[in-house]
Amino acid sequence: MNILLANPNTTASMTRRMEAAASAVVGPDTRITAVTAPYGPPSVEGYYDEALCVPPLLEAVVPLARGADGVVVGCFDDTGVDALRCRLDVPVIGICQAAMQSAAVLSNTFSVITTLQRAVPALERLALHYGFERRCRRIRAAEVPVLDLEDPDSGALAVIEDEIERALEDDGAEAIVLGCAGMVEFSRILSAKFGVPVIEGVTAAVKTVEGLAALGLKTSSRGGYAPPRRKTYSGDFARFSPE
Amino acid sequence: MNILLANPNTTASMTRRMEAAASAVVGPDTRITAVTAPYGPPSVEGYYDEALCVPPLLEAVVPLARGADGVVVGCFDDTGVDALRCRLDVPVIGICQAAMQSAAVLSNTFSVITTLQRAVPALERLALHYGFERRCRRIRAAEVPVLDLEDPDSGALAVIEDEIERALEDDGAEAIVLGCAGMVEFSRILSAKFGVPVIEGVTAAVKTVEGLAALGLKTSSRGGYAPPRRKTYSGDFARFSPE
Amino acid sequence: MNILLANPNTTASMTRRMEAAASAVVGPDTRITAVTAPYGPPSVEGYYDEALCVPPLLEAVVPLARGADGVVVGCFDDTGVDALRCRLDVPVIGICQAAMQSAAVLSNTFSVITTLQRAVPALERLALHYGFERRCRRIRAAEVPVLDLEDPDSGALAVIEDEIERALEDDGAEAIVLGCAGMVEFSRILSAKFGVPVIEGVTAAVKTVEGLAALGLKTSSRGGYAPPRRKTYSGDFARFSPE
Amino acid sequence: MNILLANPNTTASMTRRMEAAASAVVGPDTRITAVTAPYGPPSVEGYYDEALCVPPLLEAVVPLARGADGVVVGCFDDTGVDALRCRLDVPVIGICQAAMQSAAVLSNTFSVITTLQRAVPALERLALHYGFERRCRRIRAAEVPVLDLEDPDSGALAVIEDEIERALEDDGAEAIVLGCAGMVEFSRILSAKFGVPVIEGVTAAVKTVEGLAALGLKTSSRGGYAPPRRKTYSGDFARFSPE
Amino acid sequence: MNILLANPNTTASMTRRMEAAASAVVGPDTRITAVTAPYGPPSVEGYYDEALCVPPLLEAVVPLARGADGVVVGCFDDTGVDALRCRLDVPVIGICQAAMQSAAVLSNTFSVITTLQRAVPALERLALHYGFERRCRRIRAAEVPVLDLEDPDSGALAVIEDEIERALEDDGAEAIVLGCAGMVEFSRILSAKFGVPVIEGVTAAVKTVEGLAALGLKTSSRGGYAPPRRKTYSGDFARFSPE
Amino acid sequence: MNILLANPNTTASMTRRMEAAASAVVGPDTRITAVTAPYGPPSVEGYYDEALCVPPLLEAVVPLARGADGVVVGCFDDTGVDALRCRLDVPVIGICQAAMQSAAVLSNTFSVITTLQRAVPALERLALHYGFERRCRRIRAAEVPVLDLEDPDSGALAVIEDEIERALEDDGAEAIVLGCAGMVEFSRILSAKFGVPVIEGVTAAVKTVEGLAALGLKTSSRGGYAPPRRKTYSGDFARFSPE
């Protein structure tokens, strides 16, 4: 089985970290192909970056996805997931939905620790969209920029630990969801340290897609995820025209 | 006062119709500047088109908006509105939010008549996001492609009338919201025909933004609409880098 | 255009302040006619005052409204708005709905600063009714009686500032809504001081109604806002009989 | 124990029917005192009537309530209940809340059969306010004016039976709530006929208040139901001034 | 009238306390029959105990209920209530639903004080199920094991008082609901001490059932509470086979 | 990896069908151990059966689970899942949650086809509990008893097909969830026939648990799923005492 893991930002080192984590958890017959956005924002921090990372993501993913059995979007904003579901028939999931659904199996309530306050409203909207507006008690910003997570000396981990402590004390959270692909390796350390499930979305998403693909399930092509109507896009975006 | 009215699809005739409608309703001191997406999809019909119309929209709007007092996005998916709110400090609104908020003043309940079934889930998500999941009784697809609305011989109006009839009979709707910028001229005819408010978003949005601008109100720069962090986008999208 | 601005309490000085604020923001062709409740409670602070201010409001507004293009009810409880919508065909709005709808365009989340704790449940009910139970993070009582807002020496502004500070720190509010007509002049000062939109309902409502009237939109007469059935009221209230 | 049963409309025959039904179900030591609104609308059919029946209701009830152990408002719009809860310390309930709470004990889901479509939005708002927006599957209007329920030859019962049939077939309702005080005697006949609980609010409310009073429970005076602040109402309504 | 009051745990002293409290509030013609679970957990503290107390509860209640006019389940998890509603036609209520419904008559908002944190998610689920997810502001655990409530020297009351204080200060609660049958005697003391309604479920439930039975109302046998289909259970549970 | 698949009813043939389906989809290193409830109801059809199948389920599963890496409860009521999550530290999931979560990845909206109307309220409650009250458009009862699904000549499949057709036409469902473990083999046939994802919970649950276990994730032991407090159960249920 082939799973395409797409990083919608252009930071290749983050892609490599996601790929390593993903490869460590899939079955023996599953191959992870990781792809980095070929151009655009180096990190996704809020609505504006989010909007601009989708076309490069689609450009990278759609051709590669032909041979894939499932696609994971490695950004906690689940950027471009709906557009991809229209273009592909294999299962597509973002790491936010995957992590929240996993948390909903392992706990009654959870809090999310994400990077920056400016990202919080978009994540609250996702929590509502996915049905977790009651279980997700709070989305906490550690105020760590995404790319600081690439730097082991940034002190990011300590700040995240502080937020987890507050989530457990103040929010009534029974589990923690890490709200950024850049936190991909922190899950086990933090689970061990705090004695609660600390769920990371990249690995959760890869296993979810691997499972759905094994069941032969496809994305619905009825309704909102119907393939886009054939039409000719103009100018710079002619290459995106749905054939 | 200057209001920028942006059509996120590339169909200039639709922009002109919107501009005409908007110009007819603004105050004597308000000037409408209409802009058409410079490249990309000719119509927005579902998640995929939606994702691809945002960069051209941003590219057209952001520079022009410097002299504007408010911005209206003329697409019922409210495409790119959140990204624009991050980049601009003047009020920005999409025609879905404007129409639904107007309906909420004039009625207890309403139904939306939109173009295609594939657009419905995105609109249901907007209704929820804007807080109208209870008042908005149903989003009905007339199964009319967007560009058929440009063609007076397409029979689109008759199909829309049928759906309005069903909305009034079956949904308990007290008002109707027209769910596509391409329906911009139908509002008065249909209001008269059915004896209920039939609300069209382009004009509703222009008046909303005109009102907010007259009050000197700006988009919040705290939280989710904070200006994007300065960073260098790469490749084709370098030009979008938030300065 | 004529807009009727009705103060449902009997305090004429408050009406004059509202009228001044409203007149300053309308278009050159719009005239504000302000009316004060002819009898009843001098201020509306909770459910009991609310119930008793409606008949005088209706008595003052209904005859005057014949020449009006829209009506604004200048009380944050939106008192009597539904009854007026039944009697009139022009747009009618209360300042709570107007302010919250404005906040929903300018921010992802907001908190309300109102006068007294006893008013909070009624306002929470309105937030829910208007669809803002998620965006409205908290309704905070400054514990300032309404009429203290008439007195510049009451210290009311300082207390309101304290609550705004707490709303921004603790509630994750991106904007502030002033929850009493008596705070009508505070909007610009507080916006400037806190660097976030501080939205005041009287002016927001006047612009909303002005916009809807310019579009030729009327209140729906189908369903909940149908004109009252003709019947003869008895005794003291015979004069209210719907003709 | 004394329970005050107040009819907020002026139709004394309806009060007598309610009183008879109520008296038949209370305990041997409970006395029902029924009171009819001394002036105002003869029936409550929508928001306008609703607003105008509150002052006469308050005028009749507040003085009488001093000797009462609980108060029931016999109108399915629960008109004036919040204002009364502010003025009185004994339990006060409207027949809508009582009937819906009873239905929630006896069934998983219910539909309401009320009189006129114009009343439906106000009842939907109550269902939401009381927490029954999921269990209450639909509020159906039989299109029977309230006072037709006073007339055995009006054919009202047959029309109500039709709506109950549809509610059981189409809404998935497990129980029926009768949505008007004028239907007070229909409960047992219809329960027997349809083999499901058909719940009537006057009797449900009387038993609820009798129960709460027996427990020595009072309305909270903290927050929204705090006694109104002492102030002088002017003119015609001076007599309503909260002392 | 006969009301069966069932304690789903095996602690007979708790049953006796409930019975005493219940007997003190019913009408002169109502007899309380109290029954203790014949085997199983001595206290219900979380999902596991909850699951295991239902069969003994059913075994004790179903035969006895034949002569009863209504049944109360004296555990704040409302354990077994749905199963009993299927087997019996008389009204059945748990003390959580009864207490929350009473609180919704006497206040706009309430908080629950329960025993242990592990019980909170189940109670939050009940609050949602009964429609009180907005009014119920918080479910607070006093961290007092259930059986400590049997021991006057446990200091339980003081800890509960602390939580009530915090609920009134921090949650905006206007009333308090005691979230465990073991707190049955605390209601009046605490109401007096804090000057707000402190509602206890056993007595609230008994009065609710007494009221519904007086109205001749039965549990719906249509839909979810239909009598179980006749089938033969095997082995140890053959005795539970629905006949 | 070992996954324990537990059938909470006593029908061994159903267990075998589930086991076969599960074994066909797991990875090469995963072993399914299937267990049938040792006593109790032969099928779970509504609240009463549900309550009575939990103790045998716990009795069968808890000891066996010591060697397992995850547990699946093969009943669409997700019976006993919460109790098991308290007793075990490995991931536990029911087939309702698993199927609904899968549907939420593959579609915007879905309907459930279950067996009997009496089961519907419990499933609606689960849909709400899991956060799918908006996406799950309707839970449809085919009125096929559970054990008819064991009999290929019962005509059950045809009836289910009829309901799927109606769900696609009338509910706006983009995917179908099969709402009973007894429908375990129907998924692929029906997916092919209707051209939409038809999701079956047993296989979905097994893959979910396999995925979570591969990630080393455990059920939270903080809060609602904390291990039960040590206590001595009495009588027949002494053997269930949490050690």
pLDDT tens, residue by residue, A76-118: 999 999 999 999 999 999 999 999 999 999 999 999 999 999 9
Phi, psi of D164 (to 5 degrees): -65, -45
- Residue C243 confidence (pLDDT): 82
Identify all chain E residues contacting F141, using CB atoms and an 8 Å cutoff: none
Sign of the torsion angle spanned by Cα atoms F231, F232, F234, F239: positive
Measure B187 CA to nearest chain D CA, in Å: 25
Cβ of residue D89 closer than 8 Å to a chain B Cβ: no
pLDDT at A66: 86
Nearest by CB to F39, which of E51, E145, E234? E234
- Which phi and psi angles does C32 have, rounded to 5°? -95, 125
**Cα distance between residue F175 and residue A226, in whole Å:** 12
Q: Does C172 touch chain A (CB under 8 A)?
A: yes
What is the amino acid identity at position D10?
Answer: T
A72, A93 Cβ separation under 8 angstroms:
yes
Lowest mean pLDDT among E125-139, F31-45, F141-155: F141-155
Name every chain D residue with its beta carbon within 8 A of the beta carbon of C117: 223, 226
State mean pLDDT over B24-49. 97
> Which residues of chain C make contact with E109, given a CB cutoff of 8 A?
121
Q: Is the CB of residue F38 less than 8 Å away from at least one CB of chain E?
A: yes
Q: What is the DSSP code (8-state) at residue C137?
A: E
- Mean pLDDT for the stretch of residues C16-28: 97
Q: What is the CA radius of gyration of chain F?
A: 17
Mean confidence (pLDDT) of chain D: 97
What pTM was estimated for this model as a whole? 0.98
Long-range contact pairs involving F65-71 (C-beta distance under 8 Å, separation at least 24) = F65/F4, F65/F90, F67/F2, F68/F2, F68/F3, F68/F4, F68/F33, F69/F1, F69/F2, F69/F3, F69/F209, F69/F213, F70/F1, F70/F3, F70/F4, F70/F209, F70/F210, F70/F212, F70/F213, F71/F3, F71/F4, F71/F5, F71/F6, F71/F209
A143 touches chain C (CB under 8 A): no
Chain F's closest residue to B123, CA to CA, is F108
Distance, in angstroms, between F153 CA and closest chain E CA? Answer: 21
Residues in chain A with CB shorter than 8 Å from the CB of E143 are none
Whether B106 contacts chain D with CB within 8 A: no
pLDDT tops 90 at residue B66 = no
- Tell me the per-residue pLDDT of C72-116, one tens digit each, with 9 for 90 and over: 999 999 999 999 999 999 999 999 999 999 999 999 999 999 999
DSSP three-state, residue D52 = helix
In chain A, which residues have their Cβ closer than 8 Å to the Cβ of B236?
A: 39-40, 56, 236
In the structure, what pLDDT confidence band is assigned to residue F243 with cuts at 50, 70 and 90? confident
Of D104, D54, D46, D96, the residue nearest D76 (C-alpha):
D96
Please report all neighbours of B, defined by 3+ CB atom pairs within 8 A: A, C, D, F
- Residue E124's identity, in one-letter code, is E
Q: How far is D204 from chain C (nearest CA, A)?
A: 24
The tens digit of pLDDT for each residue in F62-73 reads 999 989 999 999
Do C12 and C39 form a contact (C-beta atoms < 8 A)? no
Q: How far is C141 from chain B (nearest CA, A)?
A: 23
Q: Which two tokens stand for residue F182?
A: 């007894």
Residue from D106, D133, D134, D196 to probe the interface with F (highest F Cβ count within 10 Å): D134
Query: Is residue B152 scored above 90 in pLDDT?
Result: no
**Nearest residue in chain A measured CA to CA from F26:** A214
What value of ipTM does the predicted structure carry? 0.97
D touches B, CB cut-off 8 Å, minimum 3 pairs: yes
- For CA atoms A85, A91, A93, A98, the dihedral sign is positive
Amino acid letter for position E177:
V
Neighbours of chain F (3+ CB pairs under 8 A): A, B, D, E
- The stretch E213-239 carries a mean pLDDT of 98
Largest CA distance in chain F: 54
Chains within contact range of chain C (3+ C-beta pairs < 8 Å): A, B, D, E
C121 vs E: CB within 8 A: yes
pLDDT of C152 reads 86
Contacting residues of C for A124, CB less than 8 Å apart = 108
Q: Which residues of B touch F109 (CB under 8 A)?
A: 121
**Residue A133 contacts C where some CB pair is shorter than 8 Å:** yes
Distance between CA F87 and CA F83 in Å, rounded? 7
Identify from A108, A174, A196 which residue to disrupt to test chain E contact, counting E C-beta atoms within 10 A and taking the largest count. A108
Q: Could you tell me if F221 lies within 8 Å of chain B, comparing CB atoms?
A: no
Which whole number is the average pLDDT over B69-75? 98
